[in-house]
Structure 1
Amino acid sequence: MKNKVAILLLLISTISYAQYEPAGDKIKTKWAESVNVNNVLPEYPRPVMERSQWKNLNGLWNYAIQEVGLATPLKYDGKILVPFAAESSLSGVMKEVGAANELWYETNFTVDNTWKGKDIMLHFGAVDWKADVYINDVKVGSHSGGYSPFSFNITSFITGKNQKLVVKVWDPTNDGPQPRGKQVKKPEGIWYTPVTGIWQTVWLEPVNKKYIKAVRPTADIDRNTISIATQTEGTSAGDVIEVTVMQDNKPVASGKAVAGQAVDIVLKNPKLWSPESPYLYDIKVKLLSSGKAVDEVKSYFAMRKISTKRDEQGIVRMQLNNKDYFHFGPLDQGWWPDGLYTAPSDEALKYDIVKTKELGFNMIRKHVKVEPQRWYTHCDRMGILVWQDMPSGDDNPIWQMHKYFDGNELKRTAESEAIYRKEWKEILDNLYPYPCIAVWVPFNEAWGQFKTVEIAEWTKNYDPTRLVNSASGGNHFQTADILDIHHYPDPKMPLYDARRVTVLGEYGGIGLPVEGHLWQTDRNWGYTQFKNTTETTDLYVKYAEELKKLAKAGFSAAVYTQTTDVEGEVNGFMTYDRKVDKMDFQRVNKVNKEVINSISE
C-alpha cells in the first residue's frame, strides 16, 4: 500500500512539473532552481500568532487574463504558480495584465476531516490590488490593498468534499491612485515591473466559534512590564485571556484578563532586545470560556524601547533602551529577478538580512514596500531595526529637498485619500507586533505626499511606541520626530533641525555593473559607476569616513542605497541575482561599525 501511495505522489508531482516551468530568460537567483510546485513557501505565514493546524494552498492554479467586466472564464489560459505575480518568471506566466484587464484564478481544495465542527478561515497574505473572492460560485468578500493580509470565514459556503476557489484581481498599476511603490507600466531607471495578483501565501485555518484574532504586545522597559492586548471573535461575558511568558522554554510569568482587556505582566530583571543581543520572549495565549481553553496561539515579544533624547552637545539623538543609538543600514527594496515582489523561498527571504548583518549594519529601511510577515520575524530574531515605508502612490507635488516646505502639497481626491488612510492603518495594525520596527515613514520624496502634518500626527498618535519620519528626503515639515535628508552620492548635511532627530535618509548609490548578472545589458543606472570591487569599496569607505564626522556633528542615522541591484539599477552591495558580492564586505563591516560607534567616542 505504501508503495502505491509513493508511486501516486510521484506521478502527481511529475504531472505538475510537466505543466510548469519558469518563464522568460532573465537572470534568476540560485533559489529559483529549487522551487517545488508541490511545496511552495511551505513555512507558517503568520509567525507572530501561530496555531498548530493550517493548510497551505500555494501551488499551481488555473489562470486567465481577460478584459475588465467579463464573466467568470469558461476556459482558462493555463497554469500559474501561486503566490508569484503574473508578471514574474516564477509564476510561469510572465505576462502584463494592466488596468484594462482582470486576472482570474481558480483552484480546488479539500477541508481536512479533523477540522469537522470548526469554522474555516481563508487567509491571503497579500493580493495586489483589488481582489474578489468566490467559494463554490458564491462571492464571499472583497479586499482592496496590495500590502496587507485579509481573510474570510468561508464555513457557510463549504459543500461536499471538493471546494472551488476563484479569485478575480484588478490592478491599475500607475493608472490608479493606489499605493504601488515602484511599479510602473514602462519600467526604467528607478522604476520597476508591475506586480499583479496574489503575491503572498494563501492558506486555510480552522478555528472555534470563539477565537483569538490578533495579539498586540507593548513593552515598557522603564516599568519592567509587558502588556498583551488581544482581539477576539465570538466572546461573551466571563471569557478570559490567559498569557504565559516563556524564557528559554521555561514559564517565568503569567497573567489573566477579561477578553477585551489587556493582560499586564511584570517581569523580573527582563532581558532587553537589541541588534547586538536580540532576545525574544515566547508566549502562549489562551482564550478561556467557562474555564476551558477554546483557543490557543503561540507568539513572542521583545523588551525594547524606541525614543529620542537631547545629548550633552544639544543634538537630538535616537535612543534604543534609553541609550543613544546610531541607526545605520541599507535602503532595501525587496525585489527579486525571478519572483519580483516574492522571494523564491524563505531561505532567500532571510538571505538579504543575513548579508546586511554581515556588512555590519544594525538597521534596514524597507523602501516603499511591505514584506511578508516572516521577513519581520527574521529581523526580530537576527537583530535588525526596521524603518518601514508606506508604499507610495498617486501623483507627485512639487519637491523641495533642502529647506522647509513652502509650496503646495498634493490635493488628492476623496477616494485617493481614503485608499491611502485605509491601507496605512492596515499596515500599522499588521506590523505593530514586530519589535524590529523602530520608525514609520508615511511619505518618500513627495511621492503622493499630502496633508503631511495630519498624517504624521495621526501615525504618531496611533502608535506612540515608534518614531515617525514624516517626509523622507524633502518637503520637510516641522512635525513628528525626524528631519530626513537625501543627498547623492556623497553624505552631506545641508539642513539641520535642533528640535528633532536629523538623519541622512538616503545617500551613496555607487554603481558597479557585473557582466552576466544584469537584468538588462544596456541602460544600467547608478549615481556613480566603477569597474571593479576595489574602486567601489574605496569610494564607499571614503563616504563612510565623511559620515563619521557628520554623525558627530548632528546626524543620528544614515541609509545607504542599496542592498542589491534592482532591474536597471546597479548600485547594490550585491547583484540582483544575489550571486556576486560587489564590495569587500570585511572592509565595509569594519567602517560601518566605526560609523555606528562614532557618536559615543
Structure 2
Amino acid sequence: MKQTGFLSIVFMFLCHALLAQEINTNPILSPWAEKVDKNLPLQEYPRPQMVRTNWKNLNGQWDYVILNKGQGLPTDYEGKITVPFPVESYLSGVNKAVGSQKELWYRKTIRVEKNERKGRILLHFGAVDWESEVFLNGQSIGIHTGGYDPFSYDITDYLTSSQSQELVVRVWDPSDEGPQPRGKQVNKPRGIWYTPVTGIWQTVWLESVPKSYIKNIKTTPDWERGKFQISIETSGDVNGMTFQVTAYDKGYKRGEAQGNINQNLELEVNDPIAWSLENPHLYDLEILLKNGSKVIDRVKSYGALRKISIGVDSKGMQRMQLNGVSLFQYGPLDQGWWPDGLYTAPTDEALAFDIKKTKEMGFNMIRKHVKVEPARWYYHCDKLGILVWQDMPSGDMGNVWEPKPGIYRKGMDKVRTAESETIFKNEWKAIIDANYNFPSIVVWVPFNEAWGQFKTKEITEWTKSYDPSRLVNSASGGNFQLEGTKLVGDIFDVHNYPDPVMPSPDLFGKNNILVLGEYGGLGLPVEGHTWQDKDNWGYQSFKTQEELMARYQKLIQDLNELIPLGLAAAVYTQTTDVEVEVNGLMTYDRKVVKFPADALKKLHVELYKNK
C-alpha cells in the first residue's frame, strides 16, 4: 500500500467500504475450474520434501454444516463440501460466509484397512484456517490454532476394529474480528482486502508409518563446501538406531553419510553443482532410519546447494548475492488468490502456472505477500528456479504511517496483548519450520507496512538467530527500528506507488540492503474478466494495453537509474488482479496476460546487467 498520497488512498478505501460485497456466488472462473473433479481434487502427493509411498488422499466430498458457536457435535449435516476448497469459495460447492459467531463442521467416513495397521496411522492437514478440533469416532484428539502451517495427529489409538471410522472436524475463524494472522482476509471485502477464507484449504491425508519413524528432516545447504547439514526428528523407540542419507543426481549416487539420531550429519556431494536461476539443480535425497543393517523407515526428499548473502559493491553499497555473485532481485508481489478457490488453486497445474508465467516474463523473484502457500508451490519454485521472499501473514492490525518514503521514524511498535503476541510467535515459528527446507526461499519478512507490527527488534533478531541461512526484511514498507548505525534486520525497504523510489543512500545505505518493496500497481480492467462489473481500481488506471505498456516501460527506465545508486531489489504490484483490484500482470481468471511476456523479459534483462 502507498505511503505517499495517503489521504487519497484512505478516501478510496472508505468508498469501497460503503460498497462492501457479499460472498460472490457467481465469480469469474480460471481455465482449471472445469478440470476439478469434486470427488478427487488435488491428488498430488502434498509434501514433496518428505515423501513416503504408503499414503491415502482424503480430499473430495465431505459432509458439512454451519452452526452457532459452542453447540457441540452435530447430529445432522446440511450438505456436501469439496475439500480442500474454503467454504466461501465457488469450488467448495457451498459459497457461504461463516463469521466469528458460528462454527463450520466437517464429517467424512474414512477406511483404514488391516494391512495399514502394522505400525502407526497419521492424519495430516496441510492447513486449516484458523482454529480446528479433530474428532475420531466421537473422541476429541486435538485442537490446533494457526491457518498457515501443516499439522498432524497419530490416530492409531482412536481407531475402532471396524474398517470404517468417523472423522469430524470443527473449525472456528474470526477473520478480522480476531488477533490471529489472516493476511488480506476481511469480513467485508473492499479495496486491497479480500473475501475471508474459513476451514480446510489444503490437502488432508492419511499416512502409514512404522512404530518408530522419521517425523521430520532439516536440510541446510553449505554451498561453499559442497555439503548438506542434515538432522532428523523421530518418534517412537529409536534407542540404538542410526540414520543414513544418500544424495543422488539423475539416479547416480553422489554422496552418502550416516550417524546417530541426535546429531547433525554432514553429507558431502561429489563434484557439487550449485542451484541457480539458470540451472535450478536439485539433488534427490534418501533418508533411512536403521537398526543395525535393517531399514526401519525410509523417506525421500531433495536439496539444493545455494547461498544467499550480502556483498558490498565498489561504492560501498550493500547488495544481495546468490552463490557469491551480486544479483539485482526483481519480482512481482504475489497474493496467491484465485477467483474460484480463493486461497486454494484449482489444480496443481494452476498452482504452477503463475510461477511459470512470472519466470517467462523475466522476473527472478516472487514476494509471497502475507500468505503462505502449500508445500507444492515452493517445490515448483525450487524446480523452475525462482527466488522467494516469504511474508508472515499479518494480523491484529494497527497502522502508524511514515510521512514519506525513506524517512526513518522510531518507536511505532504496536502494543499487542500477551495472547496476540503468543499466537504470532507460535505461528511464525511453525511457518519457518514447515518451509525451512525449500531452497527457493531466501528472505523472511515478519512484518508489512506496520500491520500489527510489534517488538520489531525482538522478532527480527529471533528470526535471524533461528534461521541464519537467510536474510531478514524486518519491516517491508513499515516502521523501522534503529540499532546502532543500522536498521534492525538486513534490509531497508520502502513502498511507493506508482513510481519507483529508493531509500536515501545517505540513510543507512552502507549498513543495510536498500529495497523498493512495493511499487507500480498499474491498473487495467479487462471486460469480461473482472470480479465485479464496475468500481474496479488500480493505483493508476489505463484504458488500453498500449497505454499500460508505455507507462510500465517508463517505470522500468526510472528503476534502472536507481540501481547504480544502490537499489538492490524491487517488487512490482502485482502478479494478478485480485477481486476488485485490477493492477495485475494478468487478469484474476488468468485468461488474459496484459503484457507481452517476451517484451517484459527484454525490459527486465536490462535490470540484471551489472551497473
Could you say which TM-score interval applies, normalised by the shorter chain? Answer: over 0.9
Tell me the number of residue pairs that the alignment of Structure 1 and Structure 2 aligns: 578
Q: Any residues of structure 2 matched to 1:411-490 within 5 Å, and which?
A: 411-477=415-481, 478-490=487-499
Q: Any residues of structure 2 matched to 1:87-236 within 5 Å, and which?
A: 87-159=88-160, 160-236=162-238
| Distance in 2 of aligned mates of 1:595 and 1:442 | 27
SS in structure 1 of the partner of residue 463 of structure 2 = helix
Opposite residue 78 of structure 2, the aligned amino acid is D
1:77 to partner: Cα distance = 1.2
Q: 1:573 aligns with which of 567, 581, 585?
A: 585
Q: 2:306 aligns with which of 288, 304, 307?
A: 304
Question: Is the Cα contact below 8 Å between 2:492 and 2:503 reproduced in 1?
Answer: no
Q: Any residues of structure 2 matched to 1:327-338 within 5 Å, and which?
A: 327-338=329-340
1:463 to partner: Cα distance = 0.1
1:291 to partner: Cα distance = 2.4
| Distance in 2 of aligned mates of 1:183 and 1:513 | 22
| Distance in 1 of aligned mates of 2:383 and 2:450 | 33
1:586 to partner: Cα distance = 1.6
| Distance in 1 of aligned mates of 2:78 and 2:133 | 19
**2:341 — aligned with what?**
339
Question: Is the Cα contact below 8 Å between 1:243 and 1:285 reproduced in 2?
Answer: yes
Q: 1:322 aligns with which of 321, 324, 345?
A: 324
| Distance in 2 of aligned mates of 1:527 and 1:408 | 26
SS in structure 2 of the partner of residue 222 of structure 1 = helix
Is 2:541 the counterpart of 1:552? no
Question: Is the Cα contact below 8 Å between 2:460 and 2:489 reproduced in 1?
Answer: yes
Question: Is the Cα contact below 8 Å between 2:493 and 2:503 reproduced in 1?
Answer: no
1:507-542 residue CA offsets vs partner (Å, 9 max, x unmatched): 000000000000011221111111111111111111
| Distance in 1 of aligned mates of 2:233 and 2:328 | 35
1:579 to partner: Cα distance = 0.2
SS in structure 1 of the partner of residue 423 of structure 2 = helix
SS in structure 2 of the partner of residue 492 of structure 1 = coil
SS in structure 2 of the partner of residue 459 of structure 1 = helix
Q: Any residues of structure 2 matched to 1:63-74 within 5 Å, and which?
A: 63-74=64-75
SS in structure 2 of the partner of residue 331 of structure 1 = strand
Question: Is the Cα contact below 8 Å between 2:410 and 2:480 reproduced in 1?
Answer: no
Opposite residue 458 of structure 1, the aligned amino acid is W
1:78 to partner: Cα distance = 0.5
| Distance in 2 of aligned mates of 1:50 and 1:268 | 24
| Distance in 1 of aligned mates of 2:501 and 2:59 | 47
Q: 2:359 aligns with which of 334, 353, 357?
A: 357
| Distance in 1 of aligned mates of 2:281 and 2:564 | 29
Question: Is the Cα contact below 8 Å between 1:23 and 1:92 reproduced in 2?
Answer: no
Structure 1, 338-347 or 533-542: larger mean CA deviation? 533-542
**1:248 — aligned with what?**
250
1:268 to partner: Cα distance = 2.8
Q: Any residues of structure 2 matched to 1:510-549 within 5 Å, and which?
A: 510-549=522-561
Structure 1, 229-238 or 244-253: larger mean CA deviation? 229-238
SS in structure 2 of the partner of residue 427 of structure 1 = helix
Q: Any residues of structure 2 matched to 1:390-409 within 5 Å, and which?
A: 390-400=392-402, 401-409=405-413
Moved runs in structure 1, 4+ residues, more than 6 A?
Answer: none
| Distance in 2 of aligned mates of 1:362 and 1:471 | 22
Opposite residue 488 of structure 1, the aligned amino acid is Y
Question: Is the Cα contact below 8 Å between 1:23 and 1:91 reproduced in 2?
Answer: no
1:163-197 residue CA offsets vs partner (Å, 9 max, x unmatched): 00000000000000000000001000000000000
1:111 to partner: Cα distance = 1.2
1:178-233 residue CA offsets vs partner (Å, 9 max, x unmatched): 00000001000000000000000000000111111111111112222111111111
Question: Is the Cα contact below 8 Å between 2:309 and 2:321 reproduced in 1?
Answer: yes
| Distance in 1 of aligned mates of 2:202 and 2:117 | 27
Opposite residue 126 of structure 2, the aligned amino acid is G
Structure 1, 198-207 or 407-416: larger mean CA deviation? 407-416
SS in structure 2 of the partner of residue 46 of structure 1 = coil
1:327-381 residue CA offsets vs partner (Å, 9 max, x unmatched): 1100000000000000000000000001001100110000000000000000000
1:31 to partner: Cα distance = 0.5
- TM-score (normalizing by structure 2): 0.93
**1:293 — aligned with what?**
295
Question: Is the Cα contact below 8 Å between 2:68 and 2:102 reproduced in 1?
Answer: yes
Question: Is the Cα contact below 8 Å between 1:131 and 1:167 reproduced in 2?
Answer: yes
Opposite residue 276 of structure 1, the aligned amino acid is E
Opposite residue 491 of structure 1, the aligned amino acid is P
| Distance in 1 of aligned mates of 2:464 and 2:128 | 27
| Distance in 2 of aligned mates of 1:234 and 1:170 | 32
Opposite residue 345 of structure 1, the aligned amino acid is T
| Distance in 2 of aligned mates of 1:87 and 1:26 | 12
| Distance in 1 of aligned mates of 2:432 and 2:119 | 30
Q: 1:280 aligns with which of 272, 279, 282?
A: 282
Opposite residue 314 of structure 1, the aligned amino acid is G
| Distance in 2 of aligned mates of 1:578 and 1:450 | 36
1:408 to partner: Cα distance = 3.1
1:426-466 residue CA offsets vs partner (Å, 9 max, x unmatched): 00000000000000000000001000011001000000000
1:269 to partner: Cα distance = 2.6
Question: Is the Cα contact below 8 Å between 1:28 and 1:577 reproduced in 2?
Answer: yes
1:23 to partner: Cα distance = 8.6
Question: Is the Cα contact below 8 Å between 2:185 and 2:193 reproduced in 1?
Answer: yes
Question: Is the Cα contact below 8 Å between 1:127 and 1:199 reproduced in 2?
Answer: yes
Structure 1, 227-236 or 299-308: larger mean CA deviation? 227-236
| Structure 2 residue ranges without an equivalent (≥5) | 1-22, 482-486
Question: Is the Cα contact below 8 Å between 2:159 and 2:165 reproduced in 1?
Answer: yes
Question: Is the Cα contact below 8 Å between 1:317 and 1:324 reproduced in 2?
Answer: yes
Opposite residue 325 of structure 1, the aligned amino acid is L
**2:315 — aligned with what?**
313
**1:76 — aligned with what?**
77
1:282-310 residue CA offsets vs partner (Å, 9 max, x unmatched): 01000001321110000000000000011
**2:484 — aligned with what?**
none
**1:85 — aligned with what?**
86
**2:391 — aligned with what?**
389
**2:517 — aligned with what?**
505
Is 2:504 the counterpart of 1:495? yes
Opposite residue 130 of structure 1, the aligned amino acid is E
Question: Is the Cα contact below 8 Å between 2:447 and 2:478 reproduced in 1?
Answer: no
1:405 to partner: Cα distance = 2.2
**1:14 — aligned with what?**
none
| Distance in 1 of aligned mates of 2:238 and 2:199 | 38
SS in structure 2 of the partner of residue 515 of structure 1 = coil
**1:4 — aligned with what?**
none
Question: Is the Cα contact below 8 Å between 1:134 and 1:140 reproduced in 2?
Answer: yes
- TM-score (normalizing by structure 1): 0.95
1:23-70 residue CA offsets vs partner (Å, 9 max, x unmatched): 921101010011102211000000000001100000010100010010
- In 2 relative to 1, CA 494–264 (structure 1 residues): closer, same or farther, beyond 3 Å? closer
Structure 1, 304-313 or 107-116: larger mean CA deviation? 107-116
SS in structure 1 of the partner of residue 171 of structure 2 = strand
